[in-house]
Structures are given as structure tokens and as C-alpha cells.
A and B are shown apart, each in its own frame.
Chain A
Amino acid sequence: MPILKVAQLEKSYRMGFIPKLHKVLHGVTFELPERSITGFLGGNGAGKTTTIKCLLGLAYPDSGSVRFFNNEELSEDVKKRIGFLPERPYFYEYLTGLEFLEFYGQLSTRLKRNDLRQKSENLLKRVDLWHARDKKLKEYSKGMLQKIGVAQALIHDPELVILDEPMSGLDPDGRFYLAEVIRETAREGRCVFFSSHLLNDAEALCERLVIMKSGVVTYEGGLEPFLAKMGEAAIIRYLANGHEENRRVETDAALQAEIKKLLNEGAHIVDVKKDRNLEQAFIKHGLRGGGS
């Protein structure tokens, strides 16, 4: 049973001085299985954020359907089971980290005051913000805000966590830390759906991909099958006469033959890597860029 099922979602906005209908989503369809990390990829303007807004009832789709969990429409009960971090979040800067989490906890759970305090404190430790619990959010750095944003999305133990560009604007340390939190969230049995245009991060985190371009889902499936479309090219790194060298081969058969040949020549194989990554796959499949 998919945790989220989106079918034929269409959305238009009126834009311009003389409002003209501009179609942003053209029948977006995809599913999210339980207990998975799915990357929602696509360039700027591909329609990722609009899709997420339509899923969460923040924008109203023109047509199509969105079903959560056991084929349920978005309702107050369903919302209790969803966590969300918006893109470029601005939070209530007059609240401290602890007050902020307690505020969102009070909106989403029926926990008693002491239990909620305990839960908020645990979450602050988990996202490495315990030291800043009594600081007002206006004193937080961008990375800290992103972390507290993820924490508010998790305060009510949601089954589905939707993160819109969680890595955007973070330094490498911040991205690493956030990736760990996302992995841990998935290990707890939750489904994580996050949009990103940072392909390296997505490749390191995701098991599944939903890729959008110009308001249409162009790929939905596993990360491996998508990368496999790149072909079998590989790079052999080896030591010959004390020098490190690389050799690129195009097919699996050629790889086996080349390794055999190098070994016969007395070379020392250092490693063999498939010559493919998400970045290259995007370029090869013409998926770079969001809009048409």
C-alpha cells in the first residue's frame, strides 16, 4: 500500500499584469512506498514546490487526486501524520528553539506539557541544537534554522516527512548533518520525501527518485535503474611502473578483458568504479533545467 498516491495533478496560475493562465503542472502522477527515502528532483521551475503545495492543501489543484496512507484524502487526521519543512523557511524569530518546538508540538499532538517538553528537548539534542535551546531564532544561523525546521517537522512523529529543498544554502557540514538526520528518520520506519536540485546529496541519500521537468514526471523508480541507463562504462585505476594511471572501458566485457590484460602486464589494480553519477545521468537524459 503506497503511503502517498498522486494522480493526474494539474495546476495553473494566473500571472502577469493582464492575468494570463499559466499551466505549471501537467498531470503529475507518482507514488511513494512505505519506509523509503525518495528524492524529488528537477531544476528550478520544474514544478516541485507547486506539487508539494498541492499535496499539502496549501494550493488547490485544478484537477487530479492526492491520497494518503489508506487511500485517505487530506484531512485534519491525515495532517497529524505528516511533517513538512517548506523551502526557505522563515520562522517566528521571537521564539527560542525550545518554545518553537513546543508551539508546533501543541498544534499537532495531544501530549501533556511535561511530555512535550521532554520530546522537544530530545529533538533539540538530536539535531544538535541543545546548546541553542534558549536562544531566540533571530540569533540562529541559516544552518541552525534549517535544522530546527526539520525538528519541527518531526515533533509529532509523522509517518510521512516532506522536506522542500532541505539542503539549500547549507555548507557541507550542515548538509552532512542534515543527511544523517534524514537517514535516521527513515531508519525509524518513516517515509521521507524531499525535493532537491543538489544531485550529489540526492544520490547519497535516496533509494527512489521522482524526477520532474516542465510540470511532468519524467522518471519514477529506483536510483539504481536510473543510473543503469547510463550504460556500463567504468574507470580502472591502477599502478604501473610506480605511476598511477586510469583507463576507461565502455562495456562490462571490455572491463573484464582489460583487467585480465593489466594483471598479465604486472599492473596493480587500485580500484574499479562505474563511470556514472546522477549529474551525468541528468545531462544525458536532458533533464537539466526546470521549465520548458
Chain B
Amino acid sequence: MTQVLVIARNTFREIMRNRILYGLIVVAVLLIAMSLALGQLTFAEQSRITVDFGFAAIHLSSVILAIFVGSTLVSREIEKKTIMTLLVRPISRTQFVIGKSLGLLAVILISIALLAMVLAGILLLMNLRPNMAFFVGLYGICLEATVLLCVTLFFGTFASSMLAVSFALGVFLIGHWLESLSYFAERSHNKAFILVERITRAIFPNLEYFNWRALFIYGDPVRYGDVVWVTVYCLAWSALLISVSAMILAKRDLG
């Protein structure tokens, strides 16, 4: 466990010292601030636009971090051969993969927390008090980022950084598109299309499950049973992807 934490800490330090992270956070903060201005353009929907835009900025920044930084986590260690000096230490390839993921996850969670504070500040200025639905919305973003990070890490164990980004973006798009796909499949009589829909649902994570961003603005009740179930769904996908990544890495000749 100590080894995992040492790797996680080093990964955290690596990302925190990367200027791109701060650029991304600044852009996200600007987007959230812009939501305030955009809200002014409407008469009745000001708070809705601000919340939507704010959540979208946080969501987008977490996805970019998970995919673009996640793609380099393992592949860059292999390309630059830094992995060779690590794996000759008393550390297994599984510990290495888990440590790298935890390091990036910590950065993502901190950036989400920072941006959430900015959004909450703006909402308070608009006399909107963040309630439990607000935090559940943020929690969903954290869960989605976790799954996307594991997806990208998985691709990074056998593909280059560029390919890993492309594949992960593909999973991101399909993951959000699954609900629509099912909607059309239910109304379709084409057996091939229905089969494709079933296979797609089986092999891709449904990222819309994590979308609780509308609860806050519409004042819908939080269904805690769903939150627990989706948390388990996220953990199951993450565990599966991390395990497969570790297995792929364990079989690879390095260097």
C-alpha cells in the first residue's frame, strides 16, 4: 500500500507542476464567470443558464483532465522508459497502475472542488443556495471522471497517447449516446440494429447514469438509492478496467 501511495503522490506532484492544469482551471473559471453574463441575456432563465453553464464547465474540465492527462499516465512512462526504473523496485505492475490512477484522480477531485467553490460563490451572489442536489450533481461529475480516467488508462496500456485519447473520446461520446440509442432501438424493428444496441450497451459504460446536473435547477428530489447504485456501477467499471489494464501491462515486455 505504501508503494501505491508513493506512486500516487509522485503522479499528483507531476500533474500539479504542469502549467497546462492551471491553464485549464483558469479557462473553466472564466467559463463559470461567463455563465453569469450569459444568464443576463435571458429574462426568466437566468439561474438555469448560470447553473447549466457552470456545471458544464466543471464537467468539461474534469473530462479533459481525465482523458488528456490520463492518456499519458502509463504510455508516457513506457515511451520515456521511466517505468523501467520504477518496476525494478519492489512494486508490482498492478500497484503501479493503481498508484498512477489515484494520483490523477486526486488532481481531478481537487480541481472539481475548486471550480465548485467558484460556482457556489456565483450562485450565492444570485441568492441561490447550493443544496444536496448541487453536491449530488458534482458527485456525478466525479464518478464519470473516475470511469473515464480508467477507460483512458486502459487504452494507454497498449496504445500510444494519441490513440488512447481518440479511443477514450469515442467511449465518452458513445457513453452519453447510449440512452438515445436505446430509445431508437426500442422503436426499431431492425434486428441487426437491436443487436448492435445490445452489444454496445454491454461493452460501453453508460455515462448518462452519472448525469444528475439537472436535479439542482429543477428542484427534483435526490434519489439516494440511485446514487448508491450508480456509485457501485462506477466502482465496478473502474475495478474492471484497472484489473484489465494491470493484466495487459503485466504481460508486456517493457523498454
Q: B87 an interface residue at 8 Å Cβ cutoff?
A: yes
Query: Which of A91, A99, A104 lies in contact with B89, CB distance below 8 A?
Result: A104
Contact residues, A49-107 vs B (CB, 8 A):
49, 53, 56-60, 76-77, 79-80, 82, 84-86, 88-92, 94-95, 99, 103-104, 106-107
Query: Which of B6, B17, B90 lies in contact with A80, CB distance below 8 A?
Result: B90
Query: Which of A84, A90, A95 lies in contact with B88, CB distance below 8 A?
Result: A84
Q: Mark B1-24, 1 if CB is under 8 A from A, else 0.
A: 011001100100110011000000
Task: Specify the chain A residue showing the minimal Cβ separation from B11.
Answer: A92
Q: B80 an interface residue at 8 Å Cβ cutoff?
A: yes
Contact residues, B78-120 vs A (CB, 8 A):
80-82, 84-92
Report B150 CB to chain A, min CB distance, Å.
Answer: 23
The answer on a CB contact under 8 Å between B254 and A79 is no
Query: Which of A13, A77, A95 lies in contact with B253, CB distance below 8 A?
Result: A13
Query: Which of B10, B13, B18, B81 lies in contact with A86, CB distance below 8 A?
Result: B81
Q: A108 an interface residue at 8 Å Cβ cutoff?
A: yes
Q: Which residues of A contact B219 (CB under 8 A)?
A: none
The answer on a CB contact under 8 Å between A56 and B88 is yes
The answer on a CB contact under 8 Å between B87 and A57 is yes
Q: Mark B26-48, 1 if CB is under 8 A from A, else 0.
A: 00000000000000000000000
Known: A86-B81, A91-B82. A108 touches B14 (CB 8 A): no
Q: Which residues of A contact B82 (CB under 8 A)?
A: 89-92
The answer on a CB contact under 8 Å between B89 and A88 is no
Query: Which of B18, B84, B91, B254 lies in contact with A107, CB distance below 8 A?
Result: B91
Q: B255 an interface residue at 8 Å Cβ cutoff?
A: yes
Task: Specify the chain B residue showing the minimal Cβ separation from A84.
Answer: B88
* Bound: A90/B86 CA distance, A: 12
Query: Which of A58, A82, A152 lies in contact with B255, CB distance below 8 A?
Result: A58
Task: Specify the chain A residue showing the minimal Cβ separation from B16.
Answer: A94
Most chain A Cβ neighbours within 10 Å, of B10, B80, B82, B89? B89
The answer on a CB contact under 8 Å between B81 and A90 is yes
* Bound: A137/B125 CA distance, A: 45
The answer on a CB contact under 8 Å between A77 and B14 is no
Report B162 CB to chain A, min CB distance, Å.
Answer: 19
Q: Which residues of B contact A88 (CB under 8 A)?
A: 81
* Bound: A152/B88 CA distance, A: 12
Task: Specify the chain B residue showing the minimal Cβ separation from A152.
Answer: B85
Q: Which residues of A contact B88 (CB under 8 A)?
A: 56-58, 79, 82, 84
Task: Specify the chain A residue showing the minimal Cβ separation from B18.
Answer: A94
* Bound: A79/B251 CA distance, A: 19
The answer on a CB contact under 8 Å between B89 and A108 is yes
Q: Which residues of B contact A104 (CB under 8 A)?
A: 85, 89
Task: Specify the chain A residue showing the minimal Cβ separation from B89.
Answer: A107
Known: A59-B253, A59-B254, A107-B3. A79 touches B84 (CB 8 A): no
The answer on a CB contact under 8 Å between B81 and A107 is no
Known: A107-B3, A108-B89. A94 touches B254 (CB 8 A): no
The answer on a CB contact under 8 Å between A60 and B86 is no
Query: Which of B10, B90, B251 lies in contact with A108, CB distance below 8 A?
Result: B90
The answer on a CB contact under 8 Å between A94 and B90 is no
Contact residues, A117-132 vs B (CB, 8 A):
none
The answer on a CB contact under 8 Å between B85 and A91 is yes
The answer on a CB contact under 8 Å between A86 and B255 is yes
Q: Mark B133-166, 1 if CB is under 8 A from A, else 0.
A: 0000000000000000000000000000000000
The answer on a CB contact under 8 Å between B6 and A86 is no
* Bound: A13/B254 CA distance, A: 12
Query: Which of B14, B18, B81, B253 lies in contact with A89, CB distance below 8 A?
Result: B81
Most chain A Cβ neighbours within 10 Å, of B85, B254, B255? B85
Report B48 CB to chain A, min CB distance, Å.
Answer: 42
* Bound: A13/B62 CA distance, A: 39
Report A49 CB to chain B, min CB distance, Å.
Answer: 8
* Bound: A104/B91 CA distance, A: 11
The answer on a CB contact under 8 Å between B81 and A94 is no
Q: Which residues of B contact A107 (CB under 8 A)?
A: 3, 6-7, 86, 89-91
Report B204 CB to chain A, min CB distance, Å.
Answer: 30
* Bound: A58/B253 CA distance, A: 6
Most chain A Cβ neighbours within 10 Å, of B6, B84, B91, B92? B84
The answer on a CB contact under 8 Å between B6 and A103 is yes
The answer on a CB contact under 8 Å between B18 and A58 is no
* Bound: A77/B18 CA distance, A: 34
Report A242 CB to chain B, min CB distance, Å.
Answer: 59
- 5 other A-B residue contacts (CB within 8 Å) besides A13-B253, A53-B253, A99-B13: A58-B87, A58-B253, A60-B253, A92-B82, A107-B3
User: Considering the complex of A and B, which 3 residue pairs feature the smallest CB-CB distances, nearest first?
Assistant: A76-B90, A59-B253, A90-B80
12 residue pairs A–B, Cβ–Cβ below 8 Å: A58-B87, A58-B253, A59-B253, A76-B92, A79-B88, A84-B84, A84-B85, A84-B88, A86-B84, A86-B85, A94-B18, A108-B89
